[in-house]
Structure 1
Amino acid sequence: MIQIFGTTKNFDTKKAQMWFKERRIPFQFVDLKEKEMSRGEFESVVESVSRAAGSRAEAIELLADKNSKDYASFAYLDDSDKEEKLFENQLLLKLPVCRNGKNAATCGLEVKIWEGWK
């Protein structure tokens, strides 16, 4: 089943939910303000994005929301500290984070990738 991690007030999260609803693709919504990703869920998202990005460090950069008000606290960290900062403050993630099982995940609106998930 597809999981959508986001917040109820995030417009891109709402668009993702609508996209899956319109195609009658079942999904589970997880509000990051109420319940964050577990370490295992976070790890599978990073692994999946790093396969597409080429490296784990690039994946962490892609997962971070550069428009977040807290991005400055993340931007100047050592690469080794960035992953832990993202896990600790998951509202820094580029939303929505969508997972399809343990091997596929996206951050942001990635309709072209989602089309292959049907």
Structure 2
Amino acid sequence: MVQIFGTAKSPGTLKALRFFKERGIKPQLVDLQRRAMAPGEIARFVQKFGLSALIDTGSKAYERAGLAYLRLSDEALIQRLLDEPQLMVQPLLRLGATLTIGWDEAVWRNWYQHQRRVG
């Protein structure tokens, strides 16, 4: 099952939901405003992409938080992302062990083909 981690107001999250729904796949939305990501879940994304790839440096939330000027440990930064999901690039997607960050249509199309074969 495709899991989409993001906030319900995020254009990227809404776009990802629409992508899969248009293809008849019902993804599971994990709304990060309602439920924080599990530490183990975010650790998977950090391990694959690196912590800096998860941070949306172009967001208003990033600017307001002044993160460009703060020196935080990785643990403190991860906690900040969990507490303030609008600081993260969205959406984060997972299908089994495969992960993506942001819009990645090529990978999603492969997932779609896989879901059609299995489901």
TM-score with structure 1 length normalisation?
0.77
- CA RMSD in angstroms comes to 1.9
Structure 1 stretches lacking a partner, 5+ long: 51-58
Name which of 71, 76, 81 aligns with 2:69: 76
TM-score with structure 2 length normalisation?
0.77
Task: Check if 1:90 corresponds to 2:85.
Answer: yes
Task: Check if 1:116 corresponds to 2:107.
Answer: no
Partner Cα distance (1:46, 1:105) in 2: 11
Aligned residues of 2:8 and 2:31 also touching (Cα < 8 A): yes
- Secondary structure of the residue aligned to 1:75 is coil
Show structure 1 runs of 4+ deviating over 6 A: none
Larger radius of gyration between Structure 1 and Structure 2? 2
Q: How does 1:39-78 map to 2 (within 5 A)?
A: 39-48=39-48, 50=49, 59-72=50-63, 73-78=66-71
The answer for the alignment partner of 2:116 in structure 1 is none
Aligned residues of 2:6 and 2:85 also touching (Cα < 8 A): no
Identity percentage of aligned residues: 39
Partner Cα distance (2:2, 2:62) in 1: 27
Matched residue count: 108
Aligned residues of 2:55 and 2:89 also touching (Cα < 8 A): yes
